[in-house]
Structure formats: C-alpha cells, structure tokens
Amino acid sequence: MPSSEERLIKVMKALADGTRLQLFKEIASRKQMTCTEVGEISDLAQPTVSHHLKLLVDAGLVNTGKNGRFVILSVNKEMTSELSEFLKNIINTEK
Amino acid sequence: MPSSEERLIKVMKALADGTRLQLFKEIASRKQMTCTEVGEISDLAQPTVSHHLKLLVDAGLVNTGKNGRFVILSVNKEMTSELSEFLKNIINTEK
C-alpha cells in the first residue's frame, strides 16, 4: 500500500469519532484556536480534550504553533483536501 | 450530531482499514464484481473477505444485487461523493 494511503487511513481513523469530528469542525470554522478555547467549547474534561486533539495532530489534521505561552491550533486544510480528492478519484477510476 | 454525520463516521470507520480500502478500490475500478471475483483477487480467505465486504455494505459504501445465483457488488458513488463533499465543506466554513 502506498504510504500516502497509510497516511489517509490514519486521517480517516482520527475523524471517525463523533467527539473528534466536532472538535475538528470547530477548529476549522475559525482561523485558529487555543487548546484552552477548545476546552471551553466542549463539555469534556481537559485531559479528554487533549487526548482527542493529540490524535488529530498525530494524524496531520490539525497543526500546532505557539503564540507566547499559548498553543495555537489550526486545521491542516491540505490534508483534509487530499482525503477529499482521494475519495473522489476512487469513484472516478472505473475501467 | 446530525444523523448524516453519524452515517459518514460509519463510512470513514469502514474505509479506515487497509484491506477494506483495497477491496473498495478494486470494486470501484470496475463496474461491478461478484463476491467470488473479489475473493479471487485477494490473498485472504473467503470468510475474511466476506467479513470485510459486509462492513463496506453495512456502511452503505457498496451496493449488492443479484444476477441469477451470483451476488453482484458495486460501489455506492453517491455515498463516497457525499463524504468527499462533507470534508471539503468543513475546510470552507471558516467564519
């Protein structure tokens, strides 16, 4: 299997969870968010939020940066777009 | 969570597996395949293939039909396209 497919499988695993999908959508709907802000919009405990964010970051769906003492999260649009295109190409490969 | 999102989470779970993704791509690359044909192109035992196909069918990614005594499989392009569009829309929702 090509390594790009392995990466996209990891992306789909990360998104195939209701909590992570909601967090991902929230981050995507803004330009950027801090971890604290993500925790505030969620009913979940901070360690749970951190766990889910880590999986999104590890899959390459969310980028992290630093702004002073704040960790800034933003969506990796290229990765999301790559998965979207990958799926579209699969159904356009009919021989 | 909207029921459409729950459905798409199920779709991503089904595709987030190397074996199922390969089977899905094979079926997509032809107009239709029988279960036997899918088994023939795979190194896996037939029960394993059947298990993976069942998950793809249950997720709505693969349609089944009958042609005499053969079960015919084809890809549900609409469902795949819906997931592709859903992902694209997420990254275009920036406020």
For residue range A15-34, what is the model confidence (pLDDT) as tens digits?
Answer: 999 999 999 999 999 989 99
Please give the helix or strand (H or E) that residue A71 lies within, else none.
strand A70-75
Range of the domain at B77: 4-93
Closest residue of chain A to B85, computed from CA coordinates? A84
CATH number at residue A45: 1.10.10.10
Which of B16, B77, B88 has its CB closest to that of A81? Answer: B88
Residue A15 — φ and ψ, nearest 5°?
-85, -15
Token pair, residue A84, equals 């979207």
What is the rounded CA–CA span in Å between residue B37 and residue B24?
Answer: 13
Q: Which of residues 2-61 of B touch A (CB under 8 A)?
A: 5-6, 9-10, 12-13, 15-18, 21-22, 24-25, 28-31
Q: What is the ipTM of this complex?
A: 0.92
pLDDT digits (tens, 9 = 90+) for A34-78: 998 999 998 999 999 999 999 999 999 999 999 898 999 999 999
How many folded domains does chain B comprise?
A: 1
Q: Inform me whether the pLDDT recorded for B11 exceeds 70.
A: yes
- Alpha-carbon distance values, B22 to A91, B25, B65 (Å): 13, 5, 21
Residue of B32, B56, B76, B90 best to disrupt the A interface, most CBs of A under 10 A: B90
Q: Tell me what pLDDT residue A95 has.
A: 58
> Which of A65, A40, A62 is closest to A52 using CA atoms?
A62
